Structure 1
Amino acid sequence: MTTPSLTEGALAVGNRIGRYFGVVSMLPALFLVLWSAALIASGAWHGRPRLDSLGAAFGQPTVAKVAWILLLSLATGLFLHPLQFAMTQVLEGYWGPSRIGRILTGMRIDRYREKQRELEHRRVTIADQLRELVDARLELAWGREEFESWDDATYEQNRRRLLASERGDDLTAWLIADETLGQAAERYPDPTRLMPTRLGNALRREEDRAGRQYGIDAVITAPHFALLADDKHIAYLRDSRQQLDTSVRLSVVSAIATVETVACLVTDGWWLFLGLATYALTYLAYRASVAAADEYTTALRTLIDLNRFKFYEGLHLRKPPNSREERRNNAKLMALLRGEAEDIRYDHPAAGPPPPPAAPANPPGNL
């Protein structure tokens, strides 16, 4: 649980405060301020909410009221902005080394390990049953001797032909179930790398996969790529990261609003159900953060694909002639970037030809 998150360094060097702050900080802060102001204006802190008090407070907006709301939203946004990384870490499942944190982490990871095994078992069961059905129909159509003589390529060709024909129409549900369970199982990282939350598992999965085919560690090299990549690639990555940060911030402020609502309305009967609205927003924003994490990590994976040769050039390394040599070189390079002592040959660009001599100011014959 001590491995640094992919979100820790990927865009730390590239974020700008302007548009990023306006979207990620101000909008969630404005929601929190307006919700808190509505609770206060309705008298929920002192007793049952009164809609007439709420209407009197917000029915006639004035310049002063709008200015105060914007000022409080700005102050709240400025306070929450430095906590963005910490909020993301909490939602990922980095809950600290305390006894309570370890217990909660262990319980949630055990739950996800059990769920992962269950999904894998169901996927294998569905795949086996589908294969039995397909084999039975192929054997019936071609005969046992012909069926058993096929090699893998012939079997796969006839299998595709069967599933695409009318005889395979009733197997569509099995195909969809097999594909759906396969996709669900792939959403988890290796069982030894599981995190206690959905968001943590979504990011951890790509921490382990992004750049792996090249021998590149995405966690270590993300800041390097953020400095070297093309501007349009960085803009795409920044936009994806902004969606993730906005979803995380909305989830957190909605959770704060839920606590406020429950604290104000716990003794007010049916009014307490207002807490379900903010809780639903918390849940939706959290699920949106998981979807945004998928898009963000896809953008990072694409960034590595398109800019890894610039990465090698920036470190004065020779471009590998093939993927095998690339993985061999990157094994040493990743160790070097982790601070280990490794011997790597650098490839400095050759000096260009000397510049031509400058023409004399008064060439001979030109008087």
Structure 2
Amino acid sequence: MAAPSITDAALTAGSKIGKYFSIVTMVPTLFLVLWTYLLIKGDAWHGEPNLKALGVRLTEWSIPQVAWLLLATFVLALFVHPLQFATVQLLEGYWGSSRLALGAMRLRVAHHRKRAQRLADRVDELDVLIEESFESHPAYSEDLDEETYHQLVDEYLDSDSANHLLAHLVARDALQASHERYPVGRRIMPTRLGNTLRRYEDVAGVQYGLEAITTAPHFSLVIPEPHLAYLRDSRQLLDTTVRLCFVSLLATLITFAALLTDGLWLLVTLVPYGLAYLAYRAAIAAADEYGTAVSTIIDLDRFVLYERLGLPRPRDTDEERRYNAQLMSLLRWETTATTRYASLSNEPSSSRQLYRPTKRIR
């Protein structure tokens, strides 16, 4: 009777801790535990894997075995869970300050700077080819102003006359999308995931004078619950794909160690490595989704933030940027920064009621 109680405890412990822990940590860790279990049951640590013995042993599942596997998953997940932030940073390209780490970062940043430049150059080349094709069209004239020129180019590309440019248009759009994942040159990171996240760090809210990194904790405390749920779901997707990549890389190392002397069996290492690669590419896509969520939250809820901070509502974007220049200084703990707070009369009615004197009962 002890085994079912252990099983029940292992199955429900993750949900009792929280949905985030169950999805982001428990499920990926279960994959790592099961993969290691298959290597052990297949005798991979004692010689070449024995698929026949593995097949027989997999038909001998028992409740105690399931319970112990789930318990091992839960215990391992507890130790892995606090490493989530460090794992994201590792995949972003924050590799430390040692000489080896700095050297690796320098090489990877140089690689991505060259790649970003190649993408930009290729986009420019395709734009030139497209413009040269338009200039041979009867609609082109040398005395066209810039606005009319671009309008006629768009009309030309929408017409059947530009069908021969289809390959160029598809290639330009694909290359442009890849280039837009990069931040400006001085801010380029060693990895694709790092570059995607840093780009959103740099551009989200910049049109209002807001810094996404500085204001993100404040937004999370004041935005409406539906918006917060959207933001959490986007972050959870990013964290899940990062954790899947991390445990797949661990499975790759374990498989490599188990099959190192087993000849062609070493190719099995490509299975968890391929899953790690797929998870990493999924993490890049999830980073795009998360960055879009952060940008959207700033667009929709920045006035809620201003109100909760007691700031006046700006009359236009120019005034908003001037206010936010001082606000960012304050939120960065710069004691010399100053800003003007909203007067009581500018507060919403629900807030003004807190200061309204009560009427006497006669």
Tell me how far apart the structure 2 counterparts of residues 32 and 142 of structure 1 sit (CA, whole Å). 62
Amino acid at match of 1:305: D
Following superposition, the deviation at residue 178 of structure 1 comes to: 2.2
CA RMSD across the alignment = 1.5
In the TM superposition, what is the alpha-carbon distance from 1:183 to its structure 2 partner? 1.7
Query: 1:80-119, CA deviations, whole angstroms, 9 ceiling, x for partnerless residues?
Result: 1000001111000000000000000000000001111111
Spell out the pairing of 1:66-81 with structure 2 (5 A cutoff). 66-81=66-81
Structure 1 gaps of 5+ residues are 1-15, 361-367
> Which residue number in structure 1 is paired with residue 27 of structure 2?
27
Could you say which residue in structure 2 is the equivalent of 1:115?
115
Q: Which moved more, 1:48-57 or 1:273-282?
A: 48-57
Hey, what's the Cα distance between the residues in 1 that align with 2:114 and 2:139?
Answer: 42
Are 1:344 and 2:339 counterparts?
Answer: yes
Larger radius of gyration: 1
Q: What is residue 9 of structure 2 aligned with on the other side? A: none
Aligned counterpart, 1:55: 55
Question: What amino acid sits opposite 2:254 in the alignment?
Answer: E
Give the CA deviation at 1:168.
1.7
Percent identity reads 48
Question: Are the counterparts in 1 of residues 139 and 152 from structure 2 also a CA contact under 8 Å?
Answer: no
* 1:279 alignment counterpart: 273
Verify the 8 A CA contact 2:188 2:195 in the aligned structure 1: yes
Q: Distance in 1 between matches of 2:260 and 2:139?
A: 70
1:237 maps to which of 231, 242, 247:
231
Q: TM-score, normalised by structure 1?
A: 0.89
What displacement does 1:208 show?
A: 0.2
**Deviation at 1:142?**
4.8
Q: Classify the secondary structure of the residue corresponding to 2:344.
A: coil
Deviations 1:310-352 (A, max 9, x none): 1111111001110000011101110111111211111143455
- Residue matched to 1:124: 124
1:163, CA displacement in angstroms? 2.1
Instruction: Find the partner of 1:206 among 176, 200, 203.
Output: 200
Structure 1 counterpart of 2:166, one-letter code: T
Q: Which residue of 2 aligns with 1:5?
A: none
* 1:343 match: secondary structure: coil
- What is the distance in 1 between the residues matched to 2:98 and 2:117? 28
Q: CA deviation at 1:41?
A: 1.3
Amino acid of the structure 2 residue aligned with 1:39: L
| 2:359 aligned residue | 356
Secondary structure in 1 matching 2:358:
coil
Q: Give the Cα separation in 1 of the matches to 2:224 and 2:234.
A: 16
Q: Is 1:158 equivalent to 2:152 in the alignment? A: yes
| Offset of residue 232 of structure 1 | 0.5
Q: Partners in 1 of 2:64 and 2:357 — Cα distance?
A: 70
Q: With CA pairs under 8 Å and 6+ residues apart, which has the higher RCO, 1 or 2? A: 1
Shift of 1:129: 1.6
Output the CA distance in 1 between the equivalents of 2:158 and 2:281.
35
Distance in 2 (CA, whole Å) between partners of 1:155 and 1:310 is 42
What is the CA–CA distance in structure 2 between the aligned matches of 1:311 and 1:174, rounded to whole Å?
45
Count of aligned pairs: 338
